[in-house]
Structures are given as structure tokens and as C-alpha cells.
Amino acid sequence: MSGWNLPGLIRVAALLGAILSLHVSGAVAAETGKVHVMQSLTEADNERTVDLRVGESVRLTLPENATTGYRWAVDRLDRDVVEEAGSEPHPSRGAIGSGGNVTFDFTAKKAGSGEIALKYWRHFEGDGSIVKRFSFRLNVQP
């Protein structure tokens, strides 16, 4: 293996992996004939209306400091029109106890209108601990 070094091999392997990933995801998109679209919302989009087509998604990113016990949770969701596709916390890389963000993904599954509402609360203290709310409406087209 003269002429090759480990960092160079790692870069080549990473590049090949990225190319293969793009090729596979492109092949799946070409095979299904559908392009997956994801809109992004933040705290500034509270009470906004979002237009989607069936199969498209929206990602909501909100600030959260789970170390205080406060977490965002879905309060209401029109399950006939939309489904929750998952959520994931993204803690800050700063000092211990510092905040971060949480993302929620929702996918439109049927034409219609619906509302998604979230609450920022301490679940172990009940609804009396709600300090913030966030909501948005979905208009889903076929």
C-alpha cells in the first residue's frame, strides 16, 4: 500500500459512500416518480398556514431546554389529514444546562385541512405548567 495514507483512504471511502447514497436516493425517486418535498417552520411561523400535497412533509424546529424539564409536545393533531413522522432533540454543544432545539416532522397523508398544535410544558406537572403554545394549519391538496 505504498503511496496511500489512511486519511486519504478515509476521504475516498466517504466520497464513494456519498455518491452511492445520492445514486440510490435518486433511483428511488425516479422509480416512484415522486420528489419528496419538505418545508421548514420555526418559532416565527406560529399560526401560519402551510400548503402541502399528499406525501409532502413539513419540519418544525423549536427552541427547547429539556434540562429544565420543559419540553415541546404535540397537543392536537388532525390524524385524518396528517401524521407525525417523528421528533428529535438537538441539544446545544455549549455549557451543561444550555438549551437546544427539537424538530418535529409531519407528513400529509390525505387531502383536507387540519391544525397541529404543540405545547411547551413539564409533562410531570400537567397542563398547569404550559408556558408556550405553537400551532399551524395545513391545507393538503391531492
pLDDT digits (tens, 9 = 90+) for 103-126: 999 999 999 999 999 999 999 999
The more confident residue out of 14 and 100 is 100
Give the pLDDT of residue 95. Answer: 72
3-state secondary structure of 31: helix
User: According to DSSP H, which parts of the chain are helical?
Assistant: 6-32
CA distances from 77 to 2, 73, 134 (A): 60, 11, 12
Fold of the CATH domain 38-141? Immunoglobulin-like (2.60.40)
Residue 141, CB-side half-sphere exposure with 13 Å CA sphere: 4
Q: In the structure, what pLDDT confidence band is assigned to residue 29 with cuts at 50, 70 and 90?
A: very low
Give the pLDDT of residue 62. Answer: 98
Type of residue found at 109: K
> Going along 22-99, which residue ranges are E strands?
38-41, 49-53, 57-64, 71-77, 82-91
